[in-house]
Each structure stands twice: as structure tokens, then as C-alpha cells.
Amino acid sequence: MNLLAIETSCDETAAAVIAETGDPAKPWRLKSNVVASQDAIHREWGGVVPELASRQHLRDVCGVVDRALDQASVGWTDIGAVAVTQGPGLLGSLLVGVSFAKSIAWSRGIPLVPVHHLAGHIESLVLHHGELALPAAVLVVSGGHTSLYFIREPGRYELIGRTRDDAAGEAYDKVARLLGLGYPGGPIIDRLAREGNDRAYSFPVSRLTHADRNQPRATAPAGLLPPELARRVDFSFSGLKTAVMRVVQVRAAELAPRDVADIAASFQRVVVEALLDRTFEAAGWLEARSVGLAGGVSANSRLRADAEARGAKAGLPVFVPPLSLSTDNAAMIGAAGLRRLRAGVTADWDLNAEASLSL
């Protein structure tokens, strides 16, 4: 069975065709994966402008879906189901994909499968590598999310840690903007950091203790982790961003390219350490048999290299998606869609896009 998947939650219009293999260990095969990026449009504004994003999705969605069918060498009659990102994301953007997918499913008389964007990022790992050894600890780290999941059975994702403020990708984008580097900032900082000294600045790593009684409770469900650790696996990046801002403000006039590279490298070291410390600590405690990293920031070269090194030291296999599946795409939505379809989940015709949706 071929499934057509559509993703329009943020600023990429994406469509893909995924087929089932019949092999339980590697259940899906990618037939096509088409992404129309809007980076060039939003770059001018230094970030995603929601109104421009939804209008561009409208222009692009037909052509992107046509190309996905073409590249997979399939026609409409070969498609047995449609999966679409229902949320979370920008409402106007999501609506384009949801309406388009609904129209296809209704007119062809085939099932419509609603998919959570983060389930898509997680299943990108299974699409590429096959089923993960469970239980697994998977960190989804993107422009909108920094969320750590514990997976005990396929298709069930337990949230055990998340950011309390900025997502890691958002911190990359904001710091890049402070340094006048352009958008999106992640790949630019990644590249620059290779030439910088990552110890030149000691930026603070925030450790959430929730000791203050005004702080919200830890994210992990009660009893899963010891209370101390449960508190530690939440993330916070806004203090780090402010620390970088102070350095930039104080030294604005005298910042040479060398200093910018040092700031990028020092910032990146702190982010990567914070992400991996918590992920591996939780994985160890939970006796995970594998660790996964997914989402746009999992494209980061240092995060990948350091995760590999920590995995090797801990005797834990580490999985990351190939670059084409780490930033937003529809192939991952297709994978999560087939998982849900086989679990019996389909949507009614009143399916609506949801800007915030829990997994």
C-alpha cells in the first residue's frame, strides 16, 4: 500500500509517498520526498512570518504533491491513504495541508490519517533505520520544540522532559540574529563554530531545579524518574541567549570575525552539552536500549559527533536521521501516518488543524 503524506506546519511545503514493506523490522520504504522551502522569503524578515508562510503554502502545495507522485512513479489510483500534519504549528499553515489532504481523501474515498508533527520527527528514525531497540530515549530538537520522549512500545511516546522557554533551534536562530549572521541560524552557527574556540566564553548552562515554588512541576510522569532527575531533565535556553546578548552589546564595536566564531562555538558547546547530559542521564536511569535524536537541530554536526561519542562510551546505539529527514519533511509524516493507520486511527471529515496539540 502506498500512502501520500503532506506537511505544512511551518515554512516548508512538503509531500512524500511511503510504501509498506511487509518487514516488521523495517516497516516502511521511502518512494519520494519533495520539500519546497520558504527560507528565501522569510530570510528578509529574520524569521518566519505566518501570513507569508500560509500564502506560499497555497501557491506551492499542488505542484509539490504532483512532484511527489511523479518521483514515486505512482498515480492517484495507486494511493491507498493520505496522512497530514494536524499540529502543532502555525494555524494558517497547517490549514492548507489539512484542507488539501481532506479534499484528496474525500474525493478518492480513501482514509485520512491525522499526524502529530513530533511523532513524525520520531518516526523519521524508524523510516531510515528500522524499528529502534526499545525502550528508547528520543530527543526531538527543532526550531519549535525541545522534547525528550521515552518509548516503551512502538507508537507510544511518553514526554519526560521539555524546554521551559526557547527551543534549542530557536536559540540558534536568535543568537545568529544577534550576531548578524542570517536565517535560519542553526546551519550558519554550526559551520562557523568549527573555526572558533569553544572555551573562549563561559556561557551559563541553566539547570532547572524547580526549587522555587512558583516553578511548574517537572514534566516526567510521577514515578518514572527519581524526583531529582525528573526536575533536571527539563531544559531552558533563554538565559543562555541573554548571556550571549550581553557579550554582543558590551563588545559590539570591537567584535572581529574571530570573536564571532568563538561566540558561536562557545554557545554551541553549552547547548549540545545541555541536550546530551539530560538525554543520556535519563536514558541510563531508564535502562534504555537505544538513543535517538530527531528534528532540525539533529542536523548539527557537533551534536551528532558528541552523541556518537557518548553512545559509544555508554554502550548505547545512537540513531539520527539522514539530513534530508532531519529538517521538516513529509516522509516522516508518512511513516507516523502508516503507524497510526495500522493502529486503526483515521480522521472524520470534520478534522481541524490544531496550533497546539499534545502527543
The binding site for ligand KG4 (CB under 6 A) comprises: 10, 142-144, 169, 172-173, 184-187, 190, 295-297, 299-300, 327-328
In this chain, which stretch among 67-75, 251-259, 320-328, 331-339 interacts with Zn ion, using CB under 5 A?
320-328
Q: Considering the complex, what minimum distance in angstroms separates the CB of residue 326 from Zn ion?
A: 9
Q: Is 85 in the site for Zn ion (CB under 5 A)?
A: no
Q: Which does 113 bind (CB under 5 to 8 A by kind): ligand KG4, Zn ion, none?
A: none
Q: Is 142 in the site for Zn ion (CB under 5 A)?
A: yes
- The closest of 352, 337, 344, 349 to 109, measured between CA atoms, is 349
Q: Which does 300 bind (CB under 5 to 8 A by kind): ligand KG4, Zn ion, none?
A: ligand KG4
Nearer to ligand KG4, 92 or 169 (CB): 169
In this chain, which stretch among 11-19, 138-146, 210-218, 240-248 interacts with Zn ion, using CB under 5 A?
138-146
What is the layout of strands, in order, in the sheet containing 2-7?
A: 28-37, 12-20, 2-7, 79-87, 112-116
Q: Considering the complex, what minimum distance in angstroms separates the CB of residue 171 from ligand KG4?
A: 8
Instruction: Give the whole-angstrom CA distance, residue 170 versus residue 178.
Output: 12
Nearer to ligand KG4, 47 or 284 (CB): 47
Q: Which does 297 bind (CB under 5 to 8 A by kind): Zn ion, ligand KG4, none?
A: ligand KG4
Q: How many CB atoms are located within 10 Å of the residue 184 CB?
A: 24
Q: Which does 87 bind (CB under 5 to 8 A by kind): Zn ion, ligand KG4, none?
A: none
Helix 301-314 to helix 185-193 angle (10° resolution) is 70
Q: Is 173 in the site for Zn ion (CB under 5 A)?
A: no
In this chain, which stretch among 12-20, 72-80, 134-142, 188-196 interacts with Zn ion, using CB under 5 A?
134-142
Q: Is 38 in the site for Zn ion (CB under 5 A)?
A: no
Instruction: Give the whole-angstrom CA distance, residue 194 versus residue 284.
Output: 30
Instruction: Give the whole-angstrom CA distance, residue 129 versus residue 133.
Output: 11
Q: Considering the complex, what minimum distance in angstroms separates the CB of residue 169 from Zn ion?
A: 9
Check: CB of residue 263 under 8 Å from CB of residue 200: yes
DSSP track, 285-301: HTT-SEEEEESGGGG-H
Check: CB of residue 88 under 8 Å from CB of residue 357: yes
Instruction: Give the whole-angstrom CA distance, residue 82 versus residue 337.
Output: 8
Check: CB of residue 180 under 8 Å from CB of residue 253: no
| Torsion angle of the four alpha carbons 201, 206, 212, 215, in this order, in degrees rounded to the nearest 10 | 140
Nearer to Zn ion, 60 or 328 (CB): 328
Q: Which of 7, 11, 190, 328 binds Zn ion (CB under 5 A)?
A: 328
Q: Which does 267 bind (CB under 5 to 8 A by kind): Zn ion, ligand KG4, none?
A: none
Residues that bind Zn ion (CB under 5 A): 142, 328
